[in-house]
Amino acid sequence: MKYRVLDLFSGCGGLSYGFECAGFHIVAGVDNWEDSLVTYRANHKGSKGILLDLGNFDPASLHKEVGDVDVVIGGPPCQGFSLSGKRNPNDPRNKLYKGFVDVVKEFRPKAFILENVPNLASMAQGKIKDAIIKEFSELGYNVKYKVLLASDYGVPQNRRRVIFVGSIYNDNYEYPTPTNNDDNRVTTSEALSDLPEESVDDGTINTQVPLSDYQKLMRKRTDKIYNHVTSEHSEQTKKIISLVPDGGNYKDLPEKYRSVRNVHIAWTRYNSEKPSLTIDTGHRHHFHYKFNRIPTVRESARLQSFPDDFIFYGSKTSQYKQVGNAVPTLMAKAVAEKLLKHLKENS
């Protein structure tokens, strides 16, 4: 019997996917953004994708709809945490975090995972983090937290996330040991070099053989390419970015070009020999390490460790946002495997 999981603020389901790969059954993903749920439902066939505003809902009705669960996971948007550090339940910014707490109160899962941006741990001199720990401790959970780096777990991206883990049993949950370090992190070229420079129609066979173990992993279940539509940049943009070398940035540009875009980081090119920077949700700031364009949705998905058979739906803008919002699946899987171990040892 698999442990049953409910994913709150699920988006397209990066976190869910990692938990599935680790051997959990995801009962449902909940989000108020229908686009992301279309992707969610298509890629999580055994799970429901429930459209719900988690800032205004009835936890008991949700419980009735999905049944009991063993684990609640999710990443409430960080605006949901009051900067004052005082948990004023009437503060509208607190409503989404409160939605997560209310679900835990209603379902009483054996464990929960609350994921967020890393500076949540340091915001308001650590008071937010302390408030989270106190709140769940009062509900009977042993809570710990740690900031994890995705590229430590085979993800070709230096993305950091804080992971709170709560357990009704004890505080013995062990965070996953890194599998990669500076000597063997997966690089952007290892992640992307088998994908073509130009757009391809959905379902086109990738005729390039995989050039790295990572590419083999991403293509394990399909050699078809989806979501690989390149962006049309202006001639000026193409000319300027062509002056930035592999791994370079605005500092490599002649002075007159540096301020063509509002922000300097807008002229950053990935380094082919390193994991990428944290991918954005479609700001068009970071360019391919070799091509004079931003990454496609599929390339962004590769940098988030979504395999090639995980297909994104909605407009291109929406797809970029869904991918950019996600927890990298390999990092989610590493966290989930340790939770599985913890649950098996204690229940």
Ligand X SMILES: C[S@@+](CC[C@H](N)C(=O)[O-])C[C@H]1O[C@@H](n2cnc3c(N)ncnc32)[C@H](O)[C@@H]1O
What are the residue numbers of the active site? Answer: 78
Min CB(285)–ligand X separation in Å = 18
Our finding on whether 55 is near ligand X (CB under 6 A) is: yes
For residues 183 and 154, is the Cβ–Cβ distance under 8 A?
A: no
**List 24, 28, 31, 274, residue binding ligand X (CB under 6 A):** 31
- Pick the piece of the chain touching ligand X (CB under 6 A) from 187-195, 205-213, 246-254, 324-332: 324-332
Our finding on whether 327 is near ligand X (CB under 6 A) is: yes
Min CB(276)–ligand X separation in Å = 17
Beta bridge partners of 269: 287
Min CB(213)–ligand X separation in Å = 24
Our finding on whether 39 is near ligand X (CB under 6 A) is: no
Nearer residue to ligand X within complex by CB, 62 or 241: 62
Our finding on whether 50 is near ligand X (CB under 6 A) is: no
Our finding on whether 279 is near ligand X (CB under 6 A) is: no
Q: Which two tokens stand for residue 233?
A: 């940049």
**Positions 84 through 113 that interact with ligand X (CB under 6 A):** 96
Q: What is the dihedral of CA 150, 11, 294, 120, to 10 degrees?
A: -50
Our finding on whether 9 is near ligand X (CB under 6 A) is: yes
Nearer residue to ligand X within complex by CB, 55 or 85: 55
Min CB(204)–ligand X separation in Å = 26
For the chain, report the end-to-end CA distance as a whole number of angstroms.
13
Our finding on whether 282 is near ligand X (CB under 6 A) is: no
Our finding on whether 13 is near ligand X (CB under 6 A) is: yes
Min CB(251)–ligand X separation in Å = 31
Our finding on whether 53 is near ligand X (CB under 6 A) is: yes
- Pick the piece of the chain touching ligand X (CB under 6 A) from 27-35, 187-195, 271-279, 280-288: 27-35
Nearer residue to ligand X within complex by CB, 35 or 135: 35
Nearer residue to ligand X within complex by CB, 16 or 271: 16
Q: Which two tokens stand for residue 347?
A: 């229940």
For residues 186 and 154, is the Cβ–Cβ distance under 8 A?
A: yes
Our finding on whether 77 is near ligand X (CB under 6 A) is: yes
Half-sphere exposure of 182 (CA within 13 A, CB side): 0
Our finding on whether 314 is near ligand X (CB under 6 A) is: no
Our finding on whether 33 is near ligand X (CB under 6 A) is: yes
Q: Which residues contact 316 (CB under 8 A, 6 or more apart)?
A: 229, 297
**List 49, 75, 176, 295, residue binding ligand X (CB under 6 A):** 75
- In the complex, the residues that contact ligand X under the rule CB under 6 A are 9-15, 31-33, 36, 53-55, 75, 77, 96, 325-327
